[in-house]
Amino acid sequence: QKEVEQNSGPLSVPEGAIASLNCTYSDRGSQSFFWYRQYSGKSPELIMFIYSNGDKEDGRFTAQLNKASQYVSLLIRDSQPSDSATYLCAVKGYGDYGGSQGNLIFGKGTKLSVKP
Amino acid sequence: DAGITQSPRYKITETGRQVTLMCHQTWSHSYMFWYRQDLGHGLRLIYYSAAADITDKGEVPDGYVVSRSKTENFPLTLESATRSQTSVYFCASSEAEAPLHFGNGTRLTVT
């Protein structure tokens, strides 16, 4: 059973701090890694994706991937109260459910609270 | 407007009734998906479709039926609703290897 693990939180950080969200996955064959943000009562929205080892930066967000450790993280710099949401880590393997699309396995999410 | 829309947003039904959740996308994405989201389980794949007339089971398909006669539509039917199917249902679409785009969700309550 392929699994994606996240701390459920809540993770509480003060405004302006760096929030660090972590995710581990069990399938060494996983190839694509995604972070989604979900506000309460809303649908998930994509923040970032990363395919290669190392860091990928987009504005205040940095995704970090370490395939050897089967670990992916999301850093949010200068955290704002509007960043308060649940962050879902999703991992895609190869061909689990048909062809190259594979199956996206979601973690249960980490709830982030940014305090003013 | 371009995007992915789900209907209804909220639905209350009784045990044993048939209910259909609708999903429509205007991007002409090849892939469409149905997920359910429950506390303690996260998002779980019910069914997916790689193209019109091609559908396949996901992680939790029991009790659900899908069809895809047109690329833009992917309805999900609960043939005989059970209380365990009370959940929030998300439809999503994508092109191959591209990230998913989610609809706004349908909150289904089975009494």
Query: Rounded to an integer, what distance in angstroms lies between the CA atom of residue A50 and that of residue B104?
Result: 25
Over the stretch B81-105, which tens digit does the pLDDT of each residue have? 999 999 999 999 988 777 889 999 9
Over the stretch A59-112, which tens digit does the pLDDT of each residue have? 999 999 999 999 999 999 999 999 999 999 999 876 555 444 457 889 999 999
Residue B110 has pLDDT above 50, yes or no: yes
State what percent of residues in chain A have pLDDT above 70. Answer: 91
CA distance B95 to chain A (A): 9
Cα torsion angle, B23, B26, B30, B31, sign: negative
* pLDDT of A99: 43
Burial A64-92 (b: 16+ CB within 10 A, else e): bbebeebebbbbbeebeeebbbbbbbbbb
Between B90 and A1, name the one with better pLDDT: B90
Between A95 and B64, name the one with better pLDDT: B64
The stretches of A29-115 forming alpha helices (DSSP H) are none
Cα torsion angle, B38, A21, A33, A77, sign: positive
CA distance A60 to chain B (A): 20
Query: Rounded to an integer, what distance in angstroms lies between the CA atom of residue B104 and that of residue A25?
Result: 27
The C-alpha angle A25, A60, A75, rounded to 5 degrees, equals 30
Using an 8 Å CB-CB cutoff, list residues of chain B that contact chain A.
31, 35, 40-45, 48, 50, 56-59, 90, 94, 96-97, 99-105
* pLDDT of A86: 96
* pLDDT of A100: 40
Q: Coil, strand or helix: which one is B61?
A: coil
Over the stretch B9-63, which tens digit does the pLDDT of each residue have? 999 999 999 999 999 999 989 999 999 999 888 899 999 998 999 999 988 999 9
Tell me if B103 sits within 8 A of B5, measured CB to CB.
yes
A110-115 vs A11-14, strand pairing mode:
parallel
**CB within 8 Å: A44 and B90:** yes
Compute CA distances B56 → A20, A99, B33, whole Å.
Answer: 36, 12, 10
Query: Rounded to an integer, what distance in angstroms lies between the CA atom of residue A79 and that of residue A87?
Result: 14
Over the stretch A3-12, which tens digit does the pLDDT of each residue have? 899 988 899 9
* pLDDT of A96: 52
Average pLDDT, chain B: 93
